[in-house]
Structure 1
Amino acid sequence: MRSILLMLFLIFTFCMQLISSSQAEQFCSMQGTSAASAQLGGRYKPASGTFKILVIYAQFTDDNTDINNSNWIKGQAPAYMNGTLDETWSSTPTSGSLTDFFNQMSFSQFKVIGKEVSITMPQTMQYYIDHGITKMYDMNKIAIQTADAQVNYAEFDNWRYDSVYHHTNIADNNVDMIYVVWRNMNPSIGLWSGIGALNDWPYTNIPFSVEGGTRNIQTGFEGYGSGVTIINGYYGTWWVYRGMQHELAHWFFGRNDHHTPSGTWGILEGWGTPSDCINAYERYKLGWMNFNTIDPSSYANPTTINITLPDFITTGVAYRIKVPGGGADEYFILENHQRISQFDVPDNNSNAAGIFVLHQTADIGNAVRVASAEGKFNWSVPYTLPNIYGSSPAMLPVFQRGTVNRASGYCRRERIPWYGGNDVIVYELINGSVVKAGENGNPTVFTGTGKDQFDLSNNNVFTPASNPSTDIYNNATKVGFEVTGISNGVYTLNIHVKNPESASPSKPQNPKLEVYSGGGDYNPKLTWAAMLEQDVTNGGNIYVERSRKNMNVYPYNWSAWQTIATLSGASTEYIDQGITTAGMGNDSVKYRIRARDSQNKYSVYSEEVKMRYDRNLLKRGLAEPKEYLLSQNYPNPFNPSTAIKYEIPEDASVVIKVYNLLGKEVATLVNGFKTAGYYEATFDAGSLSSGIYIYRLTAGKYSEIRKMTLMK
């Protein structure tokens, strides 16, 4: 048993190295599953009424880990003690406390209060190890009995567990809830970082007594249980408070299958989530709010429903729309997050406020995922990189965003499946640079892009034609919504049932720029995904707008947007012949597009895309370059050949070589004297394997390197 526990500890310690202070789930030890239930309220502990918790902060005299950490200096009580819980309830609790958190989340229906005490263990940690006292059960039992002199345990016996979801506000000689928070613990003792129990294995209950045998401490989980264990209390409040909230939520909901998926906020947050802010599904299941439900099947005719949506956290107002063709418990959930509460963090970008949509596919916490307003896409894995976190798997995927997949693709807040397994640690390739989920323990790709919310400018339409799409199952019944206004943080929306075509056109998707070299010029070529609305493709328009930045004029500001083309609504590309030096120089040009339908309604603008150009050159070769420049190869990624443009402002001996990531030279593209001017070299990688390659320009004393990706 001891070896098993040690192995589990080592596995969990490795996992914890991947977890950051602001994004990750610290506590994931409630193994197995708990059946979903249609009942509301707390499963094993009450979710309403007054609930009194005892917090015991415990330490060892021979704990020499970070002994001067200001969160918890060795030999003293933690700095945050007496701020975790209020001893008496009020409508204005200590800001940021557990009392405050549950007051706000439950609208004061669940009144969490308690008492905090600090104890030092009677023996050293090494003493217990030497005497074979190395179980979580033993440590917690000694700590709780040591605290007996400071605590009247009768104060914490107020609820009787009758059955699942049924609790009576009466003493039953069993203590309701104790948090044992350890400053630090030796790995030999085999503790998890946090668990919703006082025992080594939560599904075994070994009770013991306090106060001369008059009160019982139940050490298991599910049904009869009296506590939670948290170690590494010296990490500070972010760790301890979220652990307390998370583990109590296990008592509300059940085991690990009730964790929210990566990217989804929730009181029972999973790995890679932005915060423990409660979501509407959880709030409803705990009986703290009711949904406004729209079921399209109850409408005989096309209907537009005008609704107002105030801030979700402070009002509890949320809507859910039954997904046409979906399961019995499948909904789109609409929450307005205005970031009024300090606990309201649906996205780690502080400016991300708006309507966040969750897609619930079943009546259980891990089936509630973000439907990001940024959209869903197909993803490829052009290459893999070594696993910097461990040896299994040896390689981790680098994901690259591809084409639009409105109904069944993946957004950046989801874990993207890979043939090597649905890995917790994933990579993503964005604009040529690798962003690692989990790098330095910080899974930022799951915690928000600042573009996940629906609002009046980022993305205002959620319909079958939008990205993401409401038409997941290609059902005959179509639904959607359009954000139409906002006043004092309250949104107005039109919910379209059986008539989503009444909404404005959706946000144009996937704009991309490339260099088009037809006719000897170098023009920007703008492409985008085809619009799906028939009243755009037949009788509508696409408007292309452009802005420039002149790096010869300070300050280096972008010019006002100008409409440079009005195209058919079915168009998917535009070549800007007004720019003939794309991909070179230091000036910049950017583009955006919007759509108009035959009802004269307009979409929001697409994302902006930009590239370099040289405003001083009307055509290639009319003037000499003013500086050295090595351009990004095109195309990139490529297979098997690609073009590399470069500029030299003076006569020089030029060398361009290509290397693999190990530094081995694989090709020499240029090696000779060149006069000042513009040049292009071709790299044929037909005999090389897929991967990242480095190319280097050396001209006189000048040197520059860039990366390119061969994808076969």
Structure 2
Amino acid sequence: MNNSYNTLLTIVLAGTLMFFSSIAGFCNEDITLPWDAPYDAFMEQDEHAGKLVLEWPRQNNPIHMVVIFTKFKGEAPGDTLVPSWAKYMFDGKPGSIPHYFDQISLGQIKVTGEYLPKLYEMPRPSDFYVKRIVTYTKDIIKLLDKDKSVDFSNFDNDGPDGIPGSEDDDEYVDYIVLMPISHPYDFIVRSADGVGFLRLYETFYTRNKNSLNRFIKIDKFSGCIASAPNLNQALGLICHEYSHSFGLPDLYDGHFKDNESDSAGIGFWGIMGHGILGWYGTGGPSAPCAYTRMLMGCIGINNSNLVDIYGVHRDIRISDVGLENGKVYRIWIDEWEYFLIEYRRNDGIYYDRKIPNNGLLIWHILERENSNRTEEIKLCDLESPDGRYKDAGFPVGETPKSNTGGDNLDFWSHNSWYTSQYAGNLGDATDVYDGVKYTRFTPFTNPNTSTKIKNNFTKIEIFNIHPEGNEMVFDVNTPPFTDWSKVKYPFIGMALQRFNITFEASDGSPEKTNTLYLINYGQSRNAEELITVFNDSLTVDNLTSLSYYEIQKAIEKRAFTNESYQSNLKITRENISTIAFQDELMDLGVSHQELSSGKTPGWVQKISLVSNDQSLPEVIRLNQNYPNPFNALTTIAYYLPTGMSVTLEVFNILGQRVITMDRGFEGAGSHTIQLNAGGLSSGIYLYRIQGNTFSRTRKFLLIR
């Protein structure tokens, strides 16, 4: 696979599979599912395609949808009207398409819609359209264009005045959903029920004109194809396909050749996975997972509730991610890999009402990967606290493999016998850190915090997880900072100078950072400009050519100073008004008009570094054991900043605890332990002291 983001940006709606229904030919055994669920072929056309990170070429928010129901020639004779359930798709009530996007985006994504009451009969029978989805698309659009009751200008309403077909609209149909009431095998691709774009390779000019007397057009970005026999499937498919227009990749395992290589991806935990129909295939689509929310800009308004944390932090409080104050915390492992921590509750937003348990979900994100096709190394992987095993999922598995093993999601297969035999599933109550049974995610738990590809030890610990009211509270230990200075980004910016202090955009981090601002001018979903104010200088970076991920790294590059690398910091985000932003710049003696060539900001986000040093406890200091290597006996010395209960823990290289020595309460000061490791075999072991915090972890070598 090509991991170049420049290449990925050129990918236009081609690629991954969604195996939600029987897919004969991909698996040697019969495939069965417990429900009739859709399979999305959004990226099926290029099995080597990478992660979808493209910018949709036109405005996709707000958007007005129109659903066109079709039947094949000779199908359902006598039926001329659409299904009775069609009236519920856009009624605005819980479960409807407008309500879904309004709630999961905190009101940011505005969807309206309608359906045409006529059931359109295609000019040819279903078998003619096998592997001819392009012909189907052309045929139905021509039928609609000949229907004098249809005026396509009514479906172009993406401008701010709210008047369809007016001069502020873009002359393209916003979003047309072609919905066959049934489809033959290989109509789209194999058993696929939907695809996230129209199969048009040339722009179609309709007979209708807008208020400026210009023809309304339809192209492949003007909608999707979704075949649905019932309301639940229609709602799920449309929500899923439209979500692709925000650059969202599918998060299922869509590339497998047998049961062992099949998996659930993220399972029911998100709209871009098996949650397309909701938990257990009922109740409408699931809410998005944290990674999907981040790409949509829906962790708060414009991701204002996304918080990066570095170093040591205590009593971090987190609310339901679906609420206005719901945060997602991000912990970076290296320049491509990080964890996202979210809190989900079944008594929160409507689209989480069926999740089986309340708790933290910890997502392991590997941006170098393009999808969830590779079971062992996924783009977006849930770290389920019930553990990873070599032989089967929890509770059947008997051989723990804390990093390279599989969990219940990994042991799921489209084959129901295999799923049952190996304890696979699409999500359950033990996927969350509930703060009662599951309270820690560390280098020594199963699963652990090691890196994905090389299984490197990270020192990242998320522990003391516990509920307090409707919030979760947890502590974090992370390496204060990892030097990623080798990563370069193609900034195209400018530098201003005053008092002979200057800083060029390509030179690296400034000596002291005061404030950063992300600005969006309405030409893109992402921020288009980054302004960094430091000392008496100011830098402007043009972000229009960067992906969302690269923008996050640009922020970090500008934010950190050499002095702050070892600090315990948070990067926080705050939406501010354009007036407040302009006032802050004026205080610096520069106007935004100078920087933006007269452009008006759509939104502005203020980026701040928040130090947590004063609230941190003093750390336990742990010395290297002596002698080392040793045969059976060794001495371990350590220092306690205050009195506390102390435990020595020793782990093998698999992360399994092999010695626990409870020392009881010890006073502040220096202490030693005589460790007898005579019961252990030769090898490398890890040890640490646990008190009211953790010491650093050290290694010793036992030679027998």
- Alignment coverage as a number of residue pairs: 450
User: In the alignment, which residue of structure 1 is the partner of 2:466?
Assistant: 485
Secondary structure of the corresponding residue to residue 225 of structure 2: strand
Identify if the C-alpha distance between structure 1 residues 18 and 177 changes in structure 2 by more than 3 Å, giving closer, same or farther.
farther
When the two structures are superposed, what TM-score results if normalisation uses the length of structure 2?
Answer: 0.53
- Paired with 1:467 and 1:569, the residues of 2 have a C-alpha distance of 26
- Paired with 1:210 and 1:465, the residues of 2 have a C-alpha distance of 66
Identify if the C-alpha distance between structure 1 residues 81 and 37 changes in structure 2 by more than 3 Å, giving closer, same or farther.
closer
Identify if the C-alpha distance between structure 1 residues 456 and 255 changes in structure 2 by more than 3 Å, giving closer, same or farther.
closer
Match of 2:442 among 463, 470, 476: 463
- Could you report, residue by residue, the CA deviation over 1:561-591 in whole angstroms, capped at 9, with x for unpaired residues? xxxxxxx99999xxxxxxxxxxxxxxxxxxx
Match of 2:240 among 221, 246, 258: 246
- Paired with 2:205 and 2:137, the residues of 1 have a C-alpha distance of 10
- Paired with 1:311 and 1:506, the residues of 2 have a C-alpha distance of 35
User: In the alignment, which residue of structure 2 is the partner of 1:404?
Assistant: 400
Q: Does 1:144 align with 2:144?
A: yes
Identify if the C-alpha distance between structure 1 residues 489 and 256 changes in structure 2 by more than 3 Å, giving closer, same or farther.
closer
Identify if the C-alpha distance between structure 1 residues 57 and 130 changes in structure 2 by more than 3 Å, giving closer, same or farther.
closer
1:76: how far off?
3.6
User: In the alignment, which residue of structure 2 is the partner of 1:622?
Assistant: none
User: In the alignment, which residue of structure 2 is the partner of 1:115?
Assistant: 114
User: In the alignment, which residue of structure 1 is the partner of 2:65?
Assistant: 53
For the 8 Å contact 2:343–2:361, the answer to whether it is kept is yes
- Paired with 1:83 and 1:506, the residues of 2 have a C-alpha distance of 61
Identify if the C-alpha distance between structure 1 residues 52 and 496 changes in structure 2 by more than 3 Å, giving closer, same or farther.
same
- Paired with 1:98 and 1:83, the residues of 2 have a C-alpha distance of 9
User: In the alignment, which residue of structure 2 is the partner of 1:624?
Assistant: none
Identify if the C-alpha distance between structure 1 residues 533 and 130 changes in structure 2 by more than 3 Å, giving closer, same or farther.
closer
Secondary structure of the corresponding residue to residue 241 of structure 2: helix
- Could you report, residue by residue, the CA deviation over 1:239-283 in whole angstroms, capped at 9, with x for unpaired residues? 111110111122222666898962343332269995642111121
For the 8 Å contact 2:42–2:197, the answer to whether it is kept is no
Q: Does 1:319 align with 2:328?
A: yes
* Aligned residue identity for 1:171: D
1:13: how far off?
7.2
User: In the alignment, which residue of structure 2 is the partner of 1:263?
Assistant: 266
- Could you report, residue by residue, the CA deviation over 1:183-215 in whole angstroms, capped at 9, with x for unpaired residues? 12355866752112232xx6x335242427954
- Paired with 1:243 and 1:11, the residues of 2 have a C-alpha distance of 17
User: In the alignment, which residue of structure 1 is the partner of 2:291?
Assistant: 281
Identify if the C-alpha distance between structure 1 residues 44 and 62 changes in structure 2 by more than 3 Å, giving closer, same or farther.
same
- Could you report, residue by residue, the CA deviation over 1:52-92 in whole angstroms, capped at 9, with x for unpaired residues? 1111122357324xx9xxxxx94442122121124xxxxxx
Match of 1:532 among 654, 657, 666: 657
1:292: how far off?
3.8
User: In the alignment, which residue of structure 2 is the partner of 1:575?
Assistant: none
User: In the alignment, which residue of structure 1 is the partner of 2:528?
Assistant: none
For the 8 Å contact 1:359–1:369, the answer to whether it is kept is yes
- Could you report, residue by residue, the CA deviation over 1:521-548 in whole angstroms, capped at 9, with x for unpaired residues? xxxxxxxx996286x345489xxxxxxx
1:407: how far off?
2.4
RMSD (Å) for aligned C-alpha atoms: 5.0
User: In the alignment, which residue of structure 2 is the partner of 1:198?
Assistant: 198
1:333: how far off?
1.2
Identify if the C-alpha distance between structure 1 residues 447 and 24 changes in structure 2 by more than 3 Å, giving closer, same or farther.
farther
Identify if the C-alpha distance between structure 1 residues 446 and 278 changes in structure 2 by more than 3 Å, giving closer, same or farther.
same
1:358: how far off?
0.8
Identify if the C-alpha distance between structure 1 residues 78 and 21 changes in structure 2 by more than 3 Å, giving closer, same or farther.
farther
User: In the alignment, which residue of structure 2 is the partner of 1:521?
Assistant: none
Secondary structure of the corresponding residue to residue 385 of structure 2: coil
For the 8 Å contact 1:137–1:219, the answer to whether it is kept is no
When the two structures are superposed, what TM-score results if normalisation uses the length of structure 1?
Answer: 0.53
For the 8 Å contact 1:180–1:230, the answer to whether it is kept is yes
Matches within 5 A, 1:656-675: none
Matches within 5 A, 1:211-610: 211=208, 215-220=215-220, 225-231=221-227, 233-234=228-229, 236-253=230-247, 262-264=265-267, 265-269=269-273, 276-289=286-299, 290=303, 292-296=306-310, 299=311, 303-315=312-324, 317-324=326-333, 327-341=334-348, 343-345=350-352, 350-362=355-367, 366=372, 367-379=379-391, 401-414=397-410, 425=415, 434-435=420-421, 445-472=424-451, 478-497=459-478, 532=657, 536-537=660-661, 539=663, 599=691
- Could you report, residue by residue, the CA deviation over 1:415-439 in whole angstroms, capped at 9, with x for unpaired residues? 58xxxxxx7648658xxxx4478xx
- Paired with 1:378 and 1:436, the residues of 2 have a C-alpha distance of 11
1:336: how far off?
0.8
- Could you report, residue by residue, the CA deviation over 1:105-141 in whole angstroms, capped at 9, with x for unpaired residues? 1111110001111323356644994999983223432
For the 8 Å contact 2:68–2:177, the answer to whether it is kept is yes
Secondary structure of the corresponding residue to residue 336 of structure 1: strand
- Paired with 1:140 and 1:425, the residues of 2 have a C-alpha distance of 36
- Paired with 1:530 and 1:373, the residues of 2 have a C-alpha distance of 14
- Paired with 1:304 and 1:132, the residues of 2 have a C-alpha distance of 56
1:469: how far off?
1.1
User: In the alignment, which residue of structure 2 is the partner of 1:172?
Assistant: 170
Match of 1:78 among 75, 83, 87: 83
Identify if the C-alpha distance between structure 1 residues 188 and 479 changes in structure 2 by more than 3 Å, giving closer, same or farther.
closer
- Could you report, residue by residue, the CA deviation over 1:348-380 in whole angstroms, capped at 9, with x for unpaired residues? 7x5322111111111656401110011112227
* Aligned residue identity for 1:488: G
- Paired with 2:96 and 2:398, the residues of 1 have a C-alpha distance of 44
- Paired with 2:34 and 2:322, the residues of 1 have a C-alpha distance of 23
* Aligned residue identity for 1:368: C
Identity of counterpart residues, as a percentage?
16
For the 8 Å contact 2:648–2:661, the answer to whether it is kept is no
1:178: how far off?
0.1
1:151: how far off?
3.7
- Could you report, residue by residue, the CA deviation over 1:595-637 in whole angstroms, capped at 9, with x for unpaired residues? xx97599xxxxxxxxxxxxxxxxxxxxxxxxxxxxxxxxxxxx
Matches within 5 A, 1:95-134: 95-121=94-120, 125-126=124-125, 129=128
Secondary structure of the corresponding residue to residue 62 of structure 2: strand
- Paired with 1:480 and 1:23, the residues of 2 have a C-alpha distance of 41
1:318: how far off?
3.4
User: In the alignment, which residue of structure 2 is the partner of 1:157?
Assistant: 156
Identify if the C-alpha distance between structure 1 residues 27 and 257 changes in structure 2 by more than 3 Å, giving closer, same or farther.
same
- Paired with 1:175 and 1:55, the residues of 2 have a C-alpha distance of 12
- Could you report, residue by residue, the CA deviation over 1:496-542 in whole angstroms, capped at 9, with x for unpaired residues? 33679999999999xxxxxxxxxxxxxxxxxxx996286x345489x
For the 8 Å contact 1:426–1:436, the answer to whether it is kept is no
For the 8 Å contact 1:259–1:268, the answer to whether it is kept is no
Secondary structure of the corresponding residue to residue 245 of structure 1: helix
For the 8 Å contact 2:64–2:113, the answer to whether it is kept is yes
Identify if the C-alpha distance between structure 1 residues 531 and 540 changes in structure 2 by more than 3 Å, giving closer, same or farther.
farther
Identify if the C-alpha distance between structure 1 residues 131 and 402 changes in structure 2 by more than 3 Å, giving closer, same or farther.
closer
Q: Who wins on radius of gyration, i.e. which is larger?
A: 1
For the 8 Å contact 1:400–1:428, the answer to whether it is kept is no
For the 8 Å contact 2:322–2:349, the answer to whether it is kept is no
Secondary structure of the corresponding residue to residue 431 of structure 2: coil
- Paired with 2:396 and 2:80, the residues of 1 have a C-alpha distance of 51
Identify if the C-alpha distance between structure 1 residues 276 and 259 changes in structure 2 by more than 3 Å, giving closer, same or farther.
farther
1:480: how far off?
1.3
Identify if the C-alpha distance between structure 1 residues 131 and 304 changes in structure 2 by more than 3 Å, giving closer, same or farther.
closer
Identify if the C-alpha distance between structure 1 residues 369 and 255 changes in structure 2 by more than 3 Å, giving closer, same or farther.
closer
- Could you report, residue by residue, the CA deviation over 1:430-454 in whole angstroms, capped at 9, with x for unpaired residues? xxxx4478xxxxxxx3311321110
For the 8 Å contact 1:23–1:271, the answer to whether it is kept is no
